[in-house]
């Protein structure tokens, strides 16, 4: 009996603790006015929309309550990380019966789905989005190397540099913050360290640092991503990263989204995905500046990220799905999307004044980066199919070996180049930009 009462007490205390936990403080989103139904169609019914983007709770809530609110129909927004997303869609296709109507995913996440015959041909939908001003290059990406349209570009993002204005005082002499070189970036970090005694430049090592390696520093220093993996330029590049790393905040290993350490001022300067920096710009637009990524000896490597919309073959409501795609690519929806979740429009739009200054600043940095004379756009790996995650491990392992563990650069590159070549051979992936096109599997030189 005694034991029973003690057990009971434990349970009571536990449940008290659980209920005492504060409710999550999700930013209250202003409830939009009643959706004004478009005259043509009253209601498209229920449309289920799974997306690998806008997954964080706050962004998902913005999707549900603001961005999708005006759609004439009921939308069920399902945010999912890549693993869950892929498993769900492929399982539905395998079962021949689905619940998902619309897919929102990164350009690089579609080939696996196409391989599994999971995607509908959206060519008939082209009429609806024609004249919206989606760049041809992006539409071409949506064909996934075929002559059919498999996804319609939805929104875009990229990675840029965010800096606290306090850091600008420490810029190396004569450096233009909008046209930095990576060497100047290192000197900047060094100046800050020497003046303040603190390492205030950060990288999201627990986040998307593999994109920094693949799409920024490699193309900037070697002109390629894969073919130049262990080139002499790559060796120089790794020496440079090691040098830079002396002035990088040691807690970078834990950083997932750089907006948080930026806002707590643990770091002053950070490279990250625009959507992972946006809160800093939104909440304190006067404190931060958005800068295009620096350039290296070969140019300004950068990675444009294109998010597309597709319809799975098993969609129970294809009309609703097509209507939702049309809705999401309307200029007003694209502006709302930018304002709420920080993804940039894929269509030609003027930024109205309702867009916060911080976001406009980000947008300008994005455009400046893409339009730079020395720009080297690097695409996400596409031909690797279901194994596209493994390439990230190779770049990360090289980083861990060389920078974290301090191993010999050539030895690490030799071993990782072998792993990379094996992956390329096994998947037969041809080279993708910035590497020159290849016949057959891409070869590490």
Partner 1 sequence: MNLKRFNWEPYLLLLPSILYLALFFAWPMVQSFGLAFRTDDGQLTLAHMQRMFNDVGFTKALRNTVMLIIAIVPLQFILALIMALLMMERLRGSNMLVYIYSIPLAISDLAAGIIWFSIFTERGYLNSFLYSLGVIDKPFLFLNYQTKWPLVAIVLAEVWRATSIVFVVLVAGLQSIPRDYVEAAEVFGAGWFARVWRVILPLLRPSIQTALILRTILAVQVFAVVSAIAGRGMTVLANEAYLWYREYRNPHLAATYAMFILTISLITAFIYLRALRTKEEMIL
Which residues form the interface with partner 1 (CB under 8 A)? Answer: 3, 6, 9-10, 13-14, 17-18, 81-83, 86, 197-198, 205-206, 250-251, 253-256, 264-266, 386-390, 392-393, 396-397, 400-401, 404
Q: How far apart are CA 38 and CA 153, in angstroms?
A: 23
DSSP 8-state secondary structure symbol assigned to residue 149: -
From 401, 377, 423, 394, select the one nearest 138 (Cα to Cα). 377
In which residue are the tokens 């233009």 written?
A: 176
Q: How far apart are CA 155 and CA 62, in angstroms?
A: 15
DSSP 8-state secondary structure symbol assigned to residue 286: T
Q: Least distance (Å) from partner 1 to the CB of residue 260?
A: 10
Sign of CA dihedral 140, 145, 151, 157: negative
Q: How far apart are CA 425 and CA 379, in angstroms?
A: 19
Q: Least distance (Å) from partner 1 to the CB of residue 21?
A: 9
Cα 393 versus chain centre, distance? 17
Residue 176: count other Cβ atoms within 10 Å of its Cβ.
Answer: 10
> Which residue lies nearer to partner 1 by CB, 17 or 42?
17
> Which residue lies nearer to partner 1 by CB, 280 or 324?
280
> Which residue lies nearer to partner 1 by CB, 364 or 397?
397
> Which residue lies nearer to partner 1 by CB, 82 or 351?
82
Torsion of CA 385, 389, 395, 396, to 10 degrees: -170
Q: Least distance (Å) from partner 1 to the CB of residue 7?
A: 10
Q: Least distance (Å) from partner 1 to the CB of residue 283?
A: 16
Q: Least distance (Å) from partner 1 to the CB of residue 153?
A: 24
Determine the 3-state secondary structure of 12 from DSSP: helix
Q: Least distance (Å) from partner 1 to the CB of residue 70?
A: 34
Q: How far apart are CA 328 and CA 73, in angstroms?
A: 13
> Which residue lies nearer to partner 1 by CB, 375 or 391?
391
Q: Where are the alpha helices (DSSP H) in 43-148?
A: 57-62, 82-95, 110-115, 126-129, 136-141
> Which residue lies nearer to partner 1 by CB, 111 or 296?
111
From 196, 214, 203, 142, select the one nearest 377 (Cα to Cα). 214
Q: Least distance (Å) from partner 1 to the CB of residue 83?
A: 5
> Which residue lies nearer to partner 1 by CB, 256 or 364?
256
């Amino acid at each position: 009996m005694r034991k029973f009462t003690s057990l009971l007490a434990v349970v009571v205390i536990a449940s008290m603790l659980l209920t005492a936990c504060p409710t999550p403080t999700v930013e209250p989103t202003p409830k939009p006015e009643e959706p004004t139904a478009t005259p043509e169609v009253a209601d498209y019914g229920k449309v289920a929309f799974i997306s690998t983007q806008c997954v964080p709770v706050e962004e998902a809530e913005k999707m549900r309550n603001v961005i999708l609110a005006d759609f004439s129909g009921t939308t069920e927004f399902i945010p999912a990380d890549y693993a869950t997303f892929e498993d769900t869609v492929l399982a539905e296709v395998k079962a021949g019966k689905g619940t998902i109507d619309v897919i929102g995913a990164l350009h690089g996440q579609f080939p696996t789905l196409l391989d599994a015959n999971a995607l509908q041909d959206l060519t008939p939908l082209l009429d609806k989005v024609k004249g919206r001003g989606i760049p041809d290059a992006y539409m071409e990406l949506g064909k996934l190397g075929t002559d059919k349209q498999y996804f319609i570009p939805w929104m875009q993002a990229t990675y840029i540099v965010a800096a606290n204005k306090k850091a600008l005082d420490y810029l190396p002499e004569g450096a233009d913050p909008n046209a930095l070189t990576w060497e100047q970036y290192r000197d900047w970090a060094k100046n800050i360290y020497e003046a303040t005694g603190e390492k205030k430049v950060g990288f999201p090592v627990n986040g998307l640092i593999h994109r920094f390696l693949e799409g920024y520093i490699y193309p900037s220093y070697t002109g390629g991503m894969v073919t130049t993996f262990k080139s002499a330029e790559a060796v120089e590049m790794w020496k440079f990263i090691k040098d830079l790393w002396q002035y990088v905040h040691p807690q970078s290993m834990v950083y997932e989204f750089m907006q948080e350490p930026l806002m707590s001022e643990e770091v002053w300067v950070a490279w990250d995905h625009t959507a992972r920096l946006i809160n800093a710009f939104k909440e304190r637009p006067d404190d931060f500046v958005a800068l295009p990524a620096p350039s290296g000896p070969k140019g300004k490597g950068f990675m444009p990220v294109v998010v597309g919309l597709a319809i799975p073959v098993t969609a129970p409501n294809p009309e609703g799905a097509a209507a939702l795609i049309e809705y999401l690519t309307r200029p007003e929806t694209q502006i709302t999307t930018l304002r709420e979740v920080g993804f940039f429009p894929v269509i030609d739009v003027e930024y109205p004044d309702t867009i916060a200054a911080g976001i406009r600043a980000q947008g300008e940095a994005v455009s400046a980066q893409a339009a730079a004379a020395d720009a080297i756009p690097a695409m996400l790996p596409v031909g690797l199919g279901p194994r596209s995650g493994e390439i990230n491990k190779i770049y990360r392992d090289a980083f861990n070996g060389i920078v974290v563990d301090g191993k010999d650069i050539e030895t690490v590159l030799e071993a990782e180049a072998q792993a990379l070549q094996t992956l390329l051979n096994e998947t037969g992936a041809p080279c993708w930009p910035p590497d020159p096109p290849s016949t057959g599997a891409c070869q590490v030189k």
